[in-house]
Structure 1
Amino acid sequence: MTKIKITAGPYTFYGKLEEELAPKTVAVFKKLLPYREKIIHVRWSGEGCWIPLGDLDLGLGFENNTSHPAPGQVIVYPGGISETEILLAYGGVCFSSKVGQLSGNHFLTITEGLENIVALGKLTLWEGAQDILFELAD
């Protein structure tokens, strides 16, 4: 099991890559590590934060995809009818965009630090974009 450290705003989380359920997505994500970006609050999907990736082609199709990630689940939308993106759910999410409901590949699950996931979401909602870093855990 590959463990990931996620530093987002003032919070630190640890998670596991879903290597058995989303092997292609995990392989692509591992190549990006360490991955540093900004997260912003979602516009359409409910209680989540996202990283817009525009027209980036990750070369992925759908695997282990869902429209309703649970708090602490991270999904990637590989692009198509909407832009490519990574979404981190902190509460109720119905993953969608201005073109309607979408589904994304659930490839990462936060296993430690969940007690701060709502605080991160609210911080992002009220204070704006937060730095986020995904890296292999020691």
Structure 2
Amino acid sequence: MTKKLKVRIAGIEFDARFEEEAAPKTVAAFRKHLPFVSKVVHVRWSGEGVWIPLGDMQFGVDYENHTSYPAPGQFILYPGGISETEILLGYGGVHFACKMGQLAGNHFITLTSNLDKLPALGPQVLWEGAQEIVFEEVDD
């Protein structure tokens, strides 16, 4: 039986895929934490995105498949360094940054369904505050 990646944000369920070929180390490190439950908040510096601040949590990965401009529906993991470890999801235009300047994160998950719901997600998080996010693999 195969597994499918599901992501729920603020009660909206998305199908997703791991970017295993482009970011195998990041995917393997994140998979060890599944199911992963946290909260997303609106970004401060990066534009139209939501993020999961992870403080000093370490995934033990370096840069791979990294970008400063994730497209809507792409998750990136910043492994820490200049700023804290974090996961960011773009819902619109994003230029990934912190108060120290531009950052890059590893694109490791892409949403594959309900992308039409992303533009409303950002304002909801901005105006209503932190929303629950759950990443899990389920039987196909």
1:52 is the counterpart of 2:65: no
1:128 aligns with 129
Letter paired with 2:4: K
Q: Structure 1 runs of 4+ off > 6 angstroms?
A: none
Shift of 1:10: 2.3
Taking the aligned partners of 2:56 and 2:93, their CA distance within structure 1 comes to 26
1:23 aligns with 24
1:12-53 CA distances to partner (integer Å, 9 max, x unpaired)? 111100000000000011111000000000000000000000
Taking the aligned partners of 1:88 and 1:4, their CA distance within structure 2 comes to 16
1:95 aligns with 96
Taking the aligned partners of 1:52 and 1:26, their CA distance within structure 2 comes to 18
Shift of 1:3: 3.0
Cα RMSD (Å): 1.1
**Where in structure 1 are there 5+ consecutive unaligned residues?**
none
**Identical aligned residues as a percent:** 60
What TM-score do you get using the length of structure 2 for normalisation? Answer: 0.95
Shift of 1:102: 0.2
1:42 is the counterpart of 2:43: yes
Shift of 1:117: 1.0
How many aligned positions are there?
138
